[in-house]
């Protein structure tokens, strides 16, 4: 059956992008999800935190922001607020001045930026706890300057949707993050090569040469993909990215 994709212009991390979603997926996957969150919020009668987790390059931030947009357009569901954990990278000056052992060598954290070890997990936990209670000012990652902006985004909504690579990571230091959510979705993919091309292209757009981007993927991003897919804890729902960019619920 032929799919009907609609294209939307959206601002993602300060950059305008064209994104597309299948109209059938919107009605059969996204809207039931938003109704589930609305019902959960009514049932518990408090703020709720929801995670969208998955490997780097899988499109979590675009998806989360589209779901926020959709929730504002459809009156039968409550409004949600989309946030990202990307704002909890350590700042660049910290990454450049602190080291880690990687593949038998001591290197600056900046050389594996995006790996779990390059995030301030304690600060992320603190902010999630705050947003569950009375609200807070959230950190954001600005892709124009490739660095963190702290306490910049006021958040007071009742349904908070956070996207991030490692939110469900079943590893030390991340287990507390994992248990702070009320509902979770894990985004998976059949072909990791789809993510490889997305991540390399993202680095090229950010200023690296194709060769530099491929080298970084093999050194860091590719390993992070496998780590997330191998070590993710069980989620409430699993959605899969298809070769054509569409999403299906498993």
Written in H, E and C, the secondary structure of the chain is CCCCEEEEEEEECCEEEEEEEEHHHHHHHHHHHHHHHHHHHHHHCCCEEEEEEECCCCCHHHHHHHHHHHHHHCCCCCCCEEEEHHHHECCHHHHHHCEEEECCEEEEHHHHCCCHHHECHHHHHHHHHHHHHCCEEEEEEECCCCEEEEEEEEECCCEEEEEECCCCECCCCCHHHHCCCCEEEEEEECCHHHHHHHHHHHHHHCCCCHHHHHHHHHHHHHHHHHHHHHHECCCCEEEEECCCCCEEEC
Span 23-33, pLDDT tens digits: 999 999 999 99
Task: Note the pTM of the prediction, 2 decimals.
Answer: 0.92
**Residue extents of the structural domains in the chain:** 5-241
CA dist list (Å): 18 to 62, 67, 161, 201: 10, 15, 21, 15
pLDDT higher than threshold 70 for residue 1: no
Cβ-based neighbours of 186, under 8 Å, separated by 6 or more:
53, 54, 168, 232, 235, 237, 238, 239
Q: Name the phi and psi angles at 76, rounded to 5.
A: -80, -5
pLDDT higher than threshold 70 for residue 238: yes
Span 104-163, pLDDT tens digits: 899 999 999 999 999 999 999 999 999 999 889 999 998 888 899 999 999 999 999 999
CATH superfamily of 5-241: P-loop containing nucleotide triphosphate hydrolases (3.40.50.300)
Mean pLDDT of the chain: 93
Q: What is the dihedral of CA 123, 173, 195, 197, to 10 degrees?
A: 70
* Mean pLDDT in residue range 60-72: 95
Q: Bigger pLDDT: 191 or 158?
A: 158
């Amino acid at each position: 059956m032929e799919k009907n994709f609609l294209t939307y212009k959206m601002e993602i991390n300060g950059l305008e992008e064209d994104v597309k979603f299948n109209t059938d997926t919107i009605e059969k996957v996204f809207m039931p999800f938003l109704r589930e969150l609305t019902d959960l919020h009514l049932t518990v009668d408090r703020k709720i935190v929801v995670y969208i987790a998955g490997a780097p390059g899988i499109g979590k931030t675009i998806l989360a922001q589209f779901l926020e947009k959709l929730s504002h357009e459809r009156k039968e569901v409550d409004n949600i607020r989309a946030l990202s954990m990307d704002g909890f990278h350590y700042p660049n000056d910290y990454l450049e001045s602190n080291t880690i052992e990687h593949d038998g060598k001591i290197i600056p954290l900046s050389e594996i930026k995006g790996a779990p070890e390059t995030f301030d997990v304690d600060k992320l936990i603190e902010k999630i706890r705050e947003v569950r209670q009375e609200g807070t000012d959230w950190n954001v990652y600005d892709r124009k300057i490739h660095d963190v902006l702290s306490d910049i985004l006021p958040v007071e909504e009742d349904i908070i949707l956070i996207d991030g690579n490692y939110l469900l990571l079943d590893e030390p230091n991340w287990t507390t993050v994992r248990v702070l959510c009320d509902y979770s979705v894990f985004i998976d993919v059949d072909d990791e090569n789809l993510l490889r091309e997305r991540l390399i292209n993202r680095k090229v757009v950010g200023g690296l040469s194709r060769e530099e981007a491929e080298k970084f993927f093999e050194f860091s991003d590719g390993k992070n993909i496998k780590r997330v897919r191998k070590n993710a804890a069980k989620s409430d729902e699993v959605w899969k990215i298809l070769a054509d960019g569409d999403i299906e619920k498993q």
